[in-house]
Amino acid sequence: MVKIVRKKVLNPSVTLMEVEAPLIAKKAQAGQFIILRVDEYGERTPLTIADYDREKGTVTIIFQKVGLTTELLGDLNEGDYIKDFVGPLGLPTELPEGTKRVCVVGGGVGCAIAYPQAKSLHAQGIQVDVIAGFRSKDIVILEEEFKAACDNLYLTTDDGSYGEKGFVTDKLKSLIEAGNQYDAVIAIGPIIMMKFVSAVTKPFGIKTIVSLNPIMIDGTGMCGGCRVTVGGKMKFACVDGPDFDGHEVDFDELMSRNTVYRGEEAEEKERHAC
Ligand code: FES
């Protein structure tokens, strides 16, 4: 059991929680994740570690209420406990040797994960540009945090209600075409966004790392639930990832696999509401 020590609602559907987990905080690195169960009947849900504080012994997660588990999690408050909280799992993010300049691209709630990446790279002395994209102004999160964790922040909204109007891919393309030379691009967000970011960078030969979010069960490479095809080979995101080369990932297969349990998820939500 881990105790929730801080809860902050970032926007109507996205919540930040800081929990007491000293053993995980001691080992966590950017790019890794945890698997939690809200209660003893709960499903196992993977969430990327958004931040950690080794001194305080806390780990921060940020999640969007998209299904029953995340709704139940969102109902918990400071002082409440989460039943299981296991990690750190997966491999930390690895950049090409000698990387001096990176563009981190976050989409929607993916910005919650893009933020610790930017912060960690910036702290290592790497020049970091961030492109953070949202549908509209009302769901923008972590703007001030990003400003402190990068050299240049470019904020976009699909509807133009805040920042520049357009998609993150448009902004990335324009930055590359303007002569900004990135050693790597890190993309975290909806699968479709990561697919198109990878398509933008491919012709320029820029190493592109994507953080995949397939269905996970055990998180230890045993169940095969998280399998993805990368470079024509089967990989398990929980032990081989979650970061992969975006130019090698079969995004269409991942999108299709991620919708497999949508019916069951809706049924379970309905049953719980009764
Ligand atoms: Fe089971 Fe990855 S979650 S193999």
CATH code (residue 122): 3.40.50.80
Residue with tokens 């690195």: 29
Q: Distance between terminal CA atoms of the chain?
A: 28
pLDDT of residue 96: 87
The answer as to whether 266 is a domain residue is no
The answer as to whether 7 is a domain residue is yes
Evaluate if residue 37 carries a pLDDT over 70.
yes
The answer as to whether 75 is a domain residue is yes
Measured from the CA of 221, which atom of ligand 1 is nearest?
4
Q: List the structure tokens of 188.
A: 């975290």
Distance 46 CA to ligand 1 centre (A): 10
Q: List the structure tokens of 213.
A: 């979010």
The answer as to whether 265 is a domain residue is no
Tell whether 76 and 156 lie within a shared domain.
no
Tell whether 27 and 152 lie within a shared domain.
no
Tell whether 75 and 110 lie within a shared domain.
no
Cis peptide bond prior to 203, omega within 30° of 0: no
Residues 6+ apart with CB under 8 A from 22: 57, 58
* Ligand 1 atom 1: residue of nearest CA: 223
- What are the E-state strand segments in the chain? 2-11, 14-20, 33-37, 45-53, 58-64, 81-82, 84-89, 101-107, 127-134, 152-157, 164-165, 184-188, 207-211, 227-230, 233-236, 243-245
SS3 call for 51: strand
CATH code (residue 61): 2.40.30.10
pLDDT of residue 66: 81
Tell whether 106 and 213 lie within a shared domain.
yes
Pairwise pLDDT comparison (216 vs 187), residue with the higher score? 187
pLDDT digits (tens, 9 = 90+) for 166-183: 999 999 999 999 999 999
Measured from the CA of 239, which atom of ligand 1 is nearest?
2
Largest CA distance in the chain: 57
Listed residues 89, 123, 145: the one ending a domain: 89
State the CB neighbour count (10 A cutoff) for residue 47: 22
Tell whether 205 and 227 lie within a shared domain.
yes
Distance 22 CA to ligand 1 centre (A): 24
Domain housing 212: 101-258
Evaluate if residue 270 carries a pLDDT over 70.
no
The answer as to whether 230 is a domain residue is yes
Lowest mean pLDDT among 14-28, 32-46, 201-215: 32-46
Q: What is the average per-residue pLDDT within 147-175?
A: 95
Residues 6+ apart with CB under 8 A from 201: 172, 176, 185, 208, 246, 247
Listed residues 38, 67, 89: the one ending a domain: 89
The answer as to whether 269 is a domain residue is no
Instruction: Indicate the number of domains in the chain.
Output: 2
- In angstroms, the CA 242 to CA 22 distance is 23
Residue 108: CA count within 13 A, CB half-sphere: 16
Measured from the CA of 238, which atom of ligand 1 is nearest?
2
Tell whether 215 and 247 lie within a shared domain.
yes
Spatial strand order in the sheet of 81-82:
81-82, 2-11, 14-20, 58-64, 45-53, 33-37, 84-89
Q: Which of the four pLDDT bands, split at 50, 70 and 90, describes residue 140?
A: very high
Measured from the CA of 236, which atom of ligand 1 is nearest?
2
Pairing of strands 207-211, 243-245: antiparallel
Tell whether 141 and 251 lie within a shared domain.
yes
Ligand 1 pocket test: pick from 220, 240, 257 the residue with the most ligand atoms within 8 Å of its Cβ.
Answer: 220
Tell whether 225 and 129 lie within a shared domain.
yes
SS3 call for 61: strand
Residues in contact with ligand 1 (CB, 6 Å cut-off): 216-219, 221-226, 236, 238
Evaluate if residue 274 carries a pLDDT over 60.
no
pLDDT digits (tens, 9 = 90+) for 100-123: 999 999 999 889 889 988 998 999
Distance 224 CA to ligand 1 centre (A): 5
Tell whether 79 and 188 lie within a shared domain.
no
Radius of gyration in angstroms for the set of CA atoms belonging to the chain, rounded to a whole number: 18
- The 3-state DSSP composition of the chain as helix, strand, coil percent (nearest 5) reads 30, 35, 35
Identity at 27, one-letter amino acid code: K
Tell whether 45 and 179 lie within a shared domain.
no
Tell whether 80 and 119 lie within a shared domain.
no
pLDDT digits (tens, 9 = 90+) for 237-264: 999 999 999 999 999 999 998 776 666 6
Tell whether 119 and 150 lie within a shared domain.
yes
The answer as to whether 233 is a domain residue is yes
The answer as to whether 96 is a domain residue is no
Distance 221 CA to ligand 1 centre (A): 4
Evaluate if residue 151 carries a pLDDT over 90.
yes
